Amino acid sequence: MKYTPSECPKCGSELAINPRGGRPTRWCSDGCKRSGEAEMTRLQSLLRGFEEGKWVKLLNRGELSPRRVKVLVELQARYDHLAGVPDRGQS
């Protein structure tokens, strides 16, 4: 089954359906698109830093704190939401 978003990932507004067909819209406006893409860039940078720290900790035979794992999961979930990745429960 094909995933088609019905609302803007940034503000939650309902997306207009193009009657002529074509690629489905992901953002409700240019403002949401720019803001969402900027947030994705920031999240990607944060995720990279947290992931690098995670692997350094594991290489030094340390244990990951539950807080670090929780933050990684939350940041990745927000990034996935903005990127249009369907929830794991959806097909």
Residue ranges of domains in the chain: 39-83
- pTM (two decimals): 0.68
CA distances for 88 relative to 5, 41, 58, 65, 85, angstroms: 14, 22, 27, 24, 9
Determine the length of the chain: 91
Nearest Cα to Cα of residue 82 among 7, 3, 21: 7
Q: pLDDT band at 36, cuts 50/70/90? A: very high
> Mean of the per-residue pLDDT values for the chain?
83
The first and second tokens of residue 11, run together, are 């503000």
Q: pLDDT band at 88, cuts 50/70/90? A: low
CA distances for 15 relative to 8, 42, 53, angstroms: 6, 24, 38
**Gyration radius of the chain's alpha carbons:** 17
**What is the per-residue pLDDT for 91?**
44
Q: pLDDT band at 89, cuts 50/70/90? A: low
**What is the per-residue pLDDT for 42?**
94
**What is the per-residue pLDDT for 60?**
67
